[in-house]
Amino acid sequence: MDKSMIKGMALGGLAMVVLGAGAVGGYQTLAKPKEAQVLSVKEVMTTVSTPREVCENVAVQRQAPVKDEHRIAGTVVGGLAGGLLGSTIGKGSGKTVATVAGAAAGGYAGNQVQKNMQKNDTVTTTERRCRTVNEKSQKLSGYDVTYRLDGQDATVRTSFKPGATLPVKDGKVDTTAPSGA
């Protein structure tokens, strides 16, 4: 065998190795799965709290405004009644003392009676009272998808509900929502 024939065989063998390696790589690329099988889909819900104002009319009782702050009317009426009652008791100078004492006691009693009446005198009004309440609701935030790829099970969260399969790109599941979803 001559040298050129050996060189040709060596180059031919090398070309076969290079072509074979390219073919194996091409086959592996062609043999990679293009879809992953979806095993289960579970909705993921999020609780959302929304504030809302609630108003209602409420009956409120307050002390009525006092017209006679110093209770003069009660003192005068009580004093007159006490003086009249005191004047019926006793004779002579005792009658005068009884009248004065009756007027003083009656004035004090009338004052206290008017005080209690004013304290218990109430007025009912209606007030609008508002408060903030939080309403809770559930919102769909995505889907937990369990899938099988190359004999391995895994889970991924998607923003869309997938069908029976998920697309695979570069050996990984593609979780990009398909157009129109």
Please list the alpha-helical segments (H only) found in 121-167: none
Asked whether the predicted pLDDT for residue 142 surpasses 80, the reply is yes
- pLDDT tens string 17-66: 666 666 555 444 556 788 999 999 999 999 999 999 999 999 998 887 87
Mean pLDDT of 99-128: 82
Determine the Cα–Cα distance for residues 107 and 99; give it in Å rounded to an integer: 12
Determine the Cα–Cα distance for residues 132 and 160; give it in Å rounded to an integer: 35
List the structure tokens of 81. Answer: 């009644």
**Cα Rg, the chain, nearest whole Å:** 51
Determine the Cα–Cα distance for residues 130 and 134; give it in Å rounded to an integer: 13
Task: Fill in the amino acid letter for 82.
Answer: G
Please list the alpha-helical segments (H only) found in 45-178: 72-87, 93-120
So what's the pLDDT on residue 120? 77
Sequence-separated (6 or more) residues with CB below 8 Å from residue 79: 103, 104, 106, 107, 110
So what's the pLDDT on residue 22? 60
Mean pLDDT of 56-85: 81
Asked whether the predicted pLDDT for residue 133 surpasses 70, the reply is yes
So what's the pLDDT on residue 110? 80
Determine the Cα–Cα distance for residues 167 and 180; give it in Å rounded to an integer: 15
So what's the pLDDT on residue 1? 61
